[in-house]
Amino acid sequence: MTHLVCRDTGDHYPEDAPIWRSDSGGLLDLKFEPRFDLKATAERPPTLWRYREAIPLGDRAEVVSLGEGFTPLVEVSLDGRTILAKQEQLSPTGSFKDRGASVLISKLVQLGIKRVVMDSSGNAGAAVAAYCARAGIACEIYVPESTSPAKVAQIESYGADIVKVPGSREDTARAAMKAADHAYYASHCWNPYFFHGTKTIAFEIVEQLGWRAPDVMVTPVGHGTLLIGAYIGFCELRDAGLIDRLPRLIGVQSACCAPLHAAWRAGLPEAEAVAPKRTLAEGISISNPLRSRQCLEAVRETGGQIVAVDDEEIRDALQDAGRSGLFIEPASAAALAGVKKAESLDGTIVVPLTGHGLKAVRA
Ligand SMILES: *Cc1c(COP(=O)(O)O)cnc(C)c1O
The DSSP string of 71-97 is: --EEEEEETTEEEEEE-GGGSTTSBTH
SS3 (DSSP) at 18 = coil
Share of the chain above pLDDT 90, in %: 83
Site to substitute for ligand 1 among 95, 190, 253, 261, most atoms within 8 A of C-beta: 95
Question: What is the distance in A from the centroid of ligand 1 to the CA of 202?
Answer: 16
What pLDDT digit, counting tens, does each position of 27-61 carry? 999 999 999 999 999 999 999 999 999 999 988 88
Mean pLDDT of the chain: 95
Give the list of residues 6+ apart from residue 191 with CB closer than 8 angstroms, or none.
20, 28, 104, 185
Question: What is the distance in A from the centroid of ligand 1 to the CA of 219?
Answer: 9
Tell me what pLDDT residue 363 has: 52
Ligand 1 pocket by Cβ (under 6 Å): 95, 97, 123-124, 220-226, 283-284, 286, 329, 331-332, 354-355
Find the farthest-apart pair of alpha carbons in the chain and give their distance in angstroms, rounded.
Answer: 54
Tell me what pLDDT residue 182 has: 85
CA-based nearest residue to 349, from 229, 225, 219, 232:
219
- 362 pLDDT above the threshold of 70: no
Mean pLDDT computed over 333-351: 94
Tell me what pLDDT residue 336 has: 97
- 192 pLDDT above the threshold of 80: yes
Mean pLDDT computed over 98-106: 98
Question: What is the distance in A from the centroid of ligand 1 to the CA of 40?
Answer: 31
Share of the chain above pLDDT 70, in %: 99
Give the list of residues 6+ apart from residue 34 with CB closer than 8 angstroms, or none.
53, 54, 55, 56, 236, 240
Give the list of residues 6+ apart from residue 319 with CB closer than 8 angstroms, or none.
none
Using CA positions, which residue lies closest to atom 2 of ligand 1? 283
Phi, psi of 63 (to 5 degrees): -110, 145
Question: What is the distance in A from the centroid of ligand 1 to the CA of 354?
Answer: 7
- 83 pLDDT above the threshold of 60: yes
> Residue 149, Cβ neighbours under 10 Å: how many?
10
Contact at 8 Å (CB) between 256 and 285?
yes
Contact at 8 Å (CB) between 240 and 34?
yes
Tell me what pLDDT residue 58 has: 87
- 97 pLDDT above the threshold of 80: yes
Tell me what pLDDT residue 169 has: 80
Instruction: State which H helix or E strand residue 150 sits in.
Output: helix 149-157
- 334 pLDDT above the threshold of 90: yes
What pLDDT digit, counting tens, does each position of 149-173 carry? 888 999 999 999 999 999 888 889 8
